[in-house]
Structure 1
Amino acid sequence: MNNKNKILIIDDDPRNIYALELTLRMKGYTSVSSASATEGIALLHSSDDIAVVLMDMMMPDLDGYQAIRMIRSTRGFESLPIIAVTAQAMVGDREKCLAAGADDYISKPVDLDKLLHVLSKII
């Protein structure tokens, strides 16, 4: 792993955060989390060791599509890897996430093997 090895989980469901953090910790990753996109973006700005963002796309305050666009428009975060994590698994949802600026897409319930494979390519 490089010097930036922390994963930022942005999800409004504490059960999802708990499950992801537990799995990531068991696989040797470090993570921090936020229950809102606004708080997650603030956390991203205050940290210099975030390697990747796992972004829930459907949140009440600011949805993942808006949050990704905000992150991408911020100097220094244009190429930060962002993985869209969403319960939306309809035709076209993957493309919509990628068009918003996500680097990859994983549907819920999260296939942990797929997530770990995607992370291994990024970190």
Structure 2
Amino acid sequence: MDKNKTVLVIDDDQNNIFALKLALKSRGFQAMGCLSAAEGLAQLRDHAGIGLVLMDMMMPEIDGYEATQLIRRSWNANELPIIAVTAQAMTGDREKCLAAGANGYISKPIDIELLVQMITEIAR
């Protein structure tokens, strides 16, 4: 991914956002965070420099599945990479995330090196 692009972290846990932003910035990425899917959708609408989304799948109100589908429909954003992030590492979850429109899937706790590798591969 072009280092001039920003990774948007959407997660309803401020601590997760802080940790991911810190880890990404230490590896040369720009990062910003949102505490809800609605806020994330607004950021996508207002900031053209977002190059990838890390989407928490288990959020109140609009969950990550619905938010991913909204991104895919609303902005015709099939080119925007979305990596699903979830603490729910159950059988079938990866497939459910991909079916919703995610390009990749990673479970919590996040292995940051694996995440960086995934970002590099997905956001070429």
What is the TM-score when the length of structure 2 is the normalising length?
Answer: 0.94
Deviation string for 1:61-106 (max 9, x for gaps)? 2000000000000234122100000001011000000000000000
Tell me what 1:50 maps to: 50
Aligned partners of 1:56 and 1:64 also within 8 Å:
yes
Letter in 2 for 1:106: I
Give the unaligned 5+ runs of structure 2. none
Identity of aligned residues (%): 51
| Contact residue 4 and residue 30 of structure 2 kept, 8 A | no
In structure 2, the CA distance between the partners of 1:18 and 1:41, relative to structure 1 (3 Å rule), is same
Superposed CA RMSD in Å reads: 1.3
Give the structure 2 partner of residue 99 of structure 1. 99
Q: Runs (4+) of structure 1 moved beyond 6 Å? A: none
| 1:110 counterpart letter in structure 2 | I
Q: Secondary structure in 2 aligned to 1:8? A: strand
Query: What secondary structure is seen at the aligned counterpart in 1 of 2:109?
Result: coil
Residue 113 of structure 2: aligned partner: 113
Query: Map of 1:11-50 to 2, 5 A cutoff?
Result: 11-50=11-50
Which amino acid counterpart does residue 90 of structure 1 have in structure 2? M
- Could you state the TM-score of these two structures normalised by the residue count of structure 1? 0.95
Native 8 Å contact 1:4 1:50 kept in 2: no
Q: Structure 1 residues 113 and 30 mapped into 2: Cα distance closer, same or farther (>3 Å)? A: same
Segments of structure 1 that go 5 or more residues without pairing to the other structure are: none
Following TM superposition, by how much is the alpha carbon of 1:2 offset from its aligned partner in structure 2, in angstroms? 3.1
Distance 2:58 2:14 in 1: 14
Alignment-derived partner of residue 2 in structure 2: 2
